[in-house]
Amino acid sequence: MTELLTAAQMRAIEQAAIASGEVTGLELMERAGQGVVDAILDEWPAYRTAPQSAVVLCGPGNNGGDGFVVARLLRELNWGVTVYVYGDADRLPLDARVNYDRWGGALATDPLTEEAFRRGPGAAIYVDALFGAGLNRRPEGDLASFLQYIGGSGGDYGHYHPRLVAVDAPSGLCLDSGRMLGGGGPWPFESSVPLVRLTVTFDSPKIGHFIGDGPACCGALKVVDIGIAKWRETHKPPGFPSAPIRPVQTGLVVRVPLVEDQRHRLFGLDVRWPSAKGPGHKYRHGHALILSGGCGQGGAARLSARAALRVGAGLVTVGCPPAALQENAARLDAVMLKSVKDADALAALLADARINALCLGPGMGITDGTRSMVEVALAADRATLLDADALTVFEGDADALFDLLHDRCVLTPHMGEFARLFPDIAETLRAKPQTGPAYSKLDATRAAAERAGCTVLLKGADTVIASPGGRAFVHASMYEREAPWLATAGSGDVLAGLITGLLARGSAPATAAAFASWLHTECALEFGPGLIAEDLPEMVPRVLRRLAQRERDSL
């Protein structure tokens, strides 16, 4: 997994490294600038032997200092470089001021205004080193107009966007939330945050790179090592746990830091992915029960059931109304069938203690019967996933659901269902942020998990999974893991089945939800464009086989 940091945590790590005497601020700034230049040349390899022109926009803080380094290093490669500075150069932080002077200072640097920028030369590359993670309020006035001009509705988006590189983050994007300060989303342009082609960040990715509008704003993301990752393996930065902080890449399921008591701490959570089965008979690997809707409404449950079986549950049963038995029998072989007419029938079925995981919601219908069966299922105290209709039936009466939930439950709402259960939290998330750190999807999911008393998975390309106590995962189907063909009917039903199958196998709720989210995207990438939901379970064996081989190779 990869650790995602807040902006404050990244600053704390850098300051601790500097205070230790292992590195200086100037060295970190030099490495950051060199990393941006290397990333530019990697993105445009033809420019390695053909120097171009660049415009570098430098802000009033250390992000601007990185920009001065970029400008100097490009000039040393015989690029033509123009630098604009926003703010008073005499008030730059010490290290940024040193690099301002190394670049050439006021003799070679123009104040940044839209008018000056328009008069200035065009360039092959534009570098946004204005604020990065340092801006904590919405851009206003001339600055907002300028940012809109280069990257939003005010300018020639088609000219600047393909040439625009951000240092740490496009200026105005909150890196703790992925929210545009002062605006809505990137389409249509409602904010002064420019959308860039390439974002270069340092040491570790930040939360805002992967949730909210972050990926749409950041374009491609490049994480550059600036030489403190190895230091962190053997040192304990102040305010962090005693265990070394060691990000390990195993796919873009990422573990998110927990901020506790206003101190910056990483929450360490060791996860063993449940890929291969051990020895034993089928019941040792769990028996999952998936409840279905009536005639013509069983497709969702069948998708969930097949996914649960493919991910390794020993047995999977679909429980459906008697009239739907024939329809389901025509479509299912390895998945078993039981007649479940109503809540009483479900209670009788659950007398079999070998049924250890339940899935309710997909295709069940928004009826009093569905609600009654949810109540019976939760009273049985089994690992239980609630999705879709099983959530919507409690709209306007969410407290009744929360009173029934227990810590072995997983709720898997999309944003609409989330708003029905947590309307106040959803309203806070919808509000346009004016200052940072802005309220994020991560904050909202954590708050929901605390209120519900169980694991909550809030769906989306930026899926967030949280459990009571603050543990959280982000699974981002973004950047190189983008899988837009997952936006197809039944995809969420397959995800519900994957989680339920893992619950049946004994995985903890948060672990099951996190691994299933990764596996869901991995299956989509394995199949590629043209995917329909039925294809996803059939990709599971391929992905698990590859994962098992990777585990063997690592021994």
| Distance between CA atoms of residues 471 and 259, nearest Å | 10
Those residues whose C-beta lies under 8 Å from the C-beta of residue 85, and which sit 6 or more positions away, are 58, 59, 64, 100, 109, 110, 111, 112
For residues 393 and 366, the answer to whether their CB atoms sit within 8 Å is: yes
Q: What span, in angstroms and rounded, lies between the C-alpha atoms of 87 and 69?
A: 18
91 CB burial (10 A radius; 0-12, 13-18, 19+): exposed
pTM of the full structure: 0.90
Residue pair 297/366 in contact by the 8 Å Cβ criterion = no
pLDDT at residue 521, as a whole number: 95
pLDDT at position 433 is: 86
Instruction: Report pLDDT digits (tens) over 229-282.
Output: 877 767 655 544 333 333 322 233 344 433 332 222 223 333 455 666 677 778
Nearest to 58 by CA among 49, 73, 68: 68
d(CA 381, CA 177): 35
What is the helix (H) or strand (E) element at residue 74, kind and residue range? helix 62-76
Mean pLDDT over the full length of the chain = 87
Burial 506-528 (b: 16+ CB within 10 A, else e): ebbbbbbbbbbbbbbbbbbbbbe
pLDDT in tens, 283-323: 788 999 999 999 999 999 999 999 999 999 999 999 999 99
Look at residues 516, 480, 424, 449 and name the one whose alpha carbon lies nearest to residue 215: 480
205: number of Cβ within 10 Å: 27
Q: How many other β-carbons are positioned within 10 Å of the β-carbon of residue 375? A: 16
Burial label, 427 (beta-carbon count in 10 A; 0-12, 13-18, 19+): exposed
The SS3 of residue 318 is: strand
Instruction: Read off the pLDDT of residues 18-50 as tens digits, 9 standing for 90 and up.
Output: 988 889 999 999 999 999 999 999 999 999 999
**Alpha carbons 46 and 482: distance in angstroms, whole number:** 26
* Selection from 162-166, 420-424, 544-548 with the highest mean pLDDT: 420-424
Beta-sheet strands, E only, within 29-112: 53-58, 80-85, 109-111
Cα(267)–Cα(146) distance, rounded to whole angstroms?
39
Question: Which pLDDT score, from 0 to 100, does residue 119 have?
Answer: 86
Query: What pLDDT is recorded for position 259?
Result: 34
CA nearest to 472, candidates 272, 254, 260, 261: 254
- The span from the CA of 147 to the CA of 57, in Å, is 11
Quick check: 180 and 166 in contact, CB under 8 A? no
Q: Bridge-partner residues for 137, per DSSP?
A: 435
* Per-residue pLDDT tens digits for 354-393: 999 999 999 999 999 999 999 999 999 999 999 999 999 9
pLDDT tens digits for range 318-347: 999 999 999 999 999 999 999 999 999 999
How far CA 341 is from CA of 319, 323, 325, 515, 542, in Å, comes to: 9, 9, 11, 33, 37
| CA angle (43 as vertex; 42, 44 as ends), nearest 5 | 95
Q: What is the pLDDT of residues 437-471, one digit of tens each?
A: 899 999 999 999 999 999 999 999 999 999 999 88
Cis peptide before 413 (omega within 30 of 0): no
Contact 199, 209 (CB under 8 A): yes
Residue among 224, 211, 202 nearest 62 (CA): 202
Supply the pLDDT for residue 139.
79
